[in-house]
Amino acid sequence: MATTDEVAEILGIKKESVYIYVRRLKGFPQPTKVGRTLLFNESDVRQWRTEHPARRRG
């Protein structure tokens, strides 16, 4: 399981963006809430990244 901080690092985005992805992106891996902590299945996040490559800035 991965925390929001770890997911942000895996995806190369800000932590705040992870929260937006959870709410707005269809098909984005949904977390399990443990207390106040969101935990993501790391393999699901990595699979999502494989299917949705990062955009290149240029």
- Kindly indicate the confidence band of residue 54, based on its pLDDT and cuts at 50, 70 and 90: confident
pLDDT of res. 51: 94
The set of long-range contacts for 34-39, using a CB threshold of 8 Å and a minimum separation of 24, is: 37/3, 38/3, 38/4, 39/1, 39/2, 39/3
Structure tokens that stand for 10 in this block: 């895996």
pLDDT in tens, 13-52: 999 999 999 999 999 999 999 999 999 999 999 999 999 9
Q: Model's pTM, two decimal places? A: 0.89
Segments making up each domain of the chain, as ranges: 4-51
Residue of higher predicted confidence among 41 and 58 = 41
pLDDT of res. 55: 80
